[in-house]
């Protein structure tokens, strides 16, 4: 019998994520571009189903003190400029960093060139970092804040709004046949 | 509800199961999802091979030291998992140009490869500037209700939708 160490369970759970990414067909160029061109919302359904489910469970863990939050800091300038830059690149490659490896695993060889590009992009950012740090990264630095803190609301109120909005989006997408 | 005629699972089911993995991972291991940081680690690892002194002196590579951590393992696992999953259900296929790309930009693998490389470069530069990618900000930060997660995910999609519609404008497959 295998010993259920933390590392073992963690590895097993990520094994599942790997397979479900592929089963949901979300690693494909046609699916990713289909979403960005507003023609096929498969990845949007996958992505927000995962987020909403995770949100509820993780909030329970946080409130019970079982898991410690790890909030990525808000740097408004870098978040917006970086996010939009990512969008430009995404429209060209048609994969995101996580799914590009899944696509390669399915035999999509164009993802290999995309992966090399990503490694080059990481190296380029490391070169640019000293100047970015003193400029863009200083614009709108808010620290590790959460939406409940911003709005002065209870976690569950924010979650209820997300869940209601998400379910509304799903119903609308199904009605539209996307 | 099902995944449009391609033998895949309902994206809602696959997504909810992935949400379950996020919860178990936070609970047992205290880890939250992310994928782009490991590209920094691997890129530093490769660059260190050619100029170790230079990498040792770079702040960014000191923050994200070149090493194989759990996230590198997870990302490599996505590759292996997709391979196993696609082999076992027959969806594995060697393909150098995606159908939708070919219908708009032609079937040249060199052209597709070049744009994938450039796109990959821009994607990763943007991700590192923003502080993460859809895994880190969507599946990691948004599930924790971080303000940063919402801002970045909205910008990912806003930028992606805007530029995709621009580059596909006037194409055959519209």
Cβ-defined contact of A145 to B147 (cutoff 8 Å): yes
Cβ neighbours of B21 in A, within 8 Å = 13-14, 16-17, 20
**What does the DSSP assignment read for A37-102?**
TTS--HHHHHHHHHHHHHHHHHHHHHHTTSS---PPPEEHHHHHHHHHHHHHHHHHH---HHHHHH
Question: What is the pLDDT at residue B6?
Answer: 61
Q: CA–CA separation, A159 vs A148, rounded Å?
A: 9
Cβ neighbours of B87 in A, within 8 Å = none
Q: CA–CA separation, B6 vs A178, rounded Å?
A: 15
Contact B77, A14 (CB under 8 A): yes
- As given in the structure block, the two tokens for residue B33 are 């999802």
**How does pLDDT run across B149-166, given as a tens digit for each residue?**
999 999 999 999 999 999
Structure pTM?
Answer: 0.91
Question: What is the pLDDT at residue A1?
Answer: 32
Question: What is the pLDDT at residue A10?
Answer: 57
Torsion angle, alpha carbons of A127, A130, A135, A137, to 10:
90
- As given in the structure block, the two tokens for residue A88 are 């430009």
The DSSP call for residue B143 is G
Question: What is the pLDDT at residue A18?
Answer: 61
Spans in chain B with pLDDT lower than 50? 1-2, 172-174
Q: How far is B67 from chain A (nearest CA, A)?
A: 14
Q: CA–CA separation, A130 vs B93, rounded Å?
A: 43
Contact B66, B48 (CB under 8 A): yes
- Residues 71..90 of B with a Cβ closer than 8 Å to A: which? 73-86, 89
3-state secondary structure of B107: coil
Cβ neighbours of A76 in B, within 8 Å = 151
Name the nearest CA neighbour of A106 among A7, A24, A5, A1: A24
- Please name the helix (run of DSSP H) or strand (run of DSSP E) that holds residue B160, with its range, or none: helix B147-167
Helix, strand and coil percent figures for chain B, each rounded to 5:
70, 0, 30
Contact B2, A174 (CB under 8 A): no
Tell me the HSE value of A171 on the side-chain side, using a 13 A CA sphere: 6
Contact A110, A28 (CB under 8 A): no
Per-residue pLDDT of chain A (178 residues; tens, 9 = 90+): 344 455 555 555 666 666 667 776 788 999 999 999 999 999 999 999 999 999 999 999 999 999 999 999 999 999 999 999 999 999 999 998 888 999 999 999 999 999 999 999 999 999 999 999 999 999 999 999 999 999 999 999 999 999 999 999 999 999 998 8
Q: Does B125 touch chain A (CB under 8 A)?
A: yes
């Amino acid at each position: 019998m295998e010993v259920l160490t933390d590392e073992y369970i963690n590895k097993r759970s990520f094994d599942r994520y790997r397979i479900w990414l592929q089963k949901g067909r979300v690693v494909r160029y046609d699916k990713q571009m289909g979403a960005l061109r507003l023609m096929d919302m498969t990845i949007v359904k996958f992505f927000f189903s995962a987020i909403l489910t995770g949100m509820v469970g993780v909030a329970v863990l946080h409130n019970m003190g079982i898991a410690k939050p790890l909030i990525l800091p808000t740097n408004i300038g870098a978040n917006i400029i970086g996010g939009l830059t990512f969008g430009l690149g995404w429209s060209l490659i048609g994969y995101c960093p996580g799914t590009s490896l899944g696509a390669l695993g399915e035999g999509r060889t164009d993802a290999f060139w995309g992966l090399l590009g990503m490694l080059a992009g990481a190296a380029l950012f490391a070169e640019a970092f000293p100047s970015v740090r003193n400029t863009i990264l200083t614009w709108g630095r808010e620290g590790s804040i959460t939406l409940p803190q911003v709005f002065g609301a209870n976690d569950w109120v924010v979650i209820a709004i997300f869940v209601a909005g998400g379910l509304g989006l799903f119903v609308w997408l199904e009605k539209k046949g996307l | 509800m099902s995944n449009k005629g391609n033998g895949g699972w309902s994206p809602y089911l696959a997504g909810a199961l992935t949400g379950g993995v996020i919860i178990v991972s936070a609970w047992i291991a205290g880890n939250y999802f992310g994928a782009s940081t490991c590209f920094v680690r691997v890129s530093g690892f490769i660059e260190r091979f050619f100029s170790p002194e230079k990498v040792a002196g770079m702040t960014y590579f000191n923050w994200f030291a070149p090493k194989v951590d759990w996230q590198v393992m997870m990302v490599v696992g996505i590759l292996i998992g997709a391979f196993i999953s696609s082999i076992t259900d027959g969806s594995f296929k060697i393909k150098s140009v995606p159908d939708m790309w070919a219908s708009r930009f032609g079937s040249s693998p060199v052209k597709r490869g070049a744009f994938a490389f450039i796109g990959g470069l821009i994607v990763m530069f943007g991700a590192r500037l923003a502080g993460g990618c859809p895994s880190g900000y969507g599946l990691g930060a948004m599930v924790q209700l971080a303000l940063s997660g919402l801002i970045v995910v909205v910008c990912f999609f806003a930028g992606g939708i805007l530029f995709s519609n621009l580059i596909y404008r006037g194409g055959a497959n519209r």
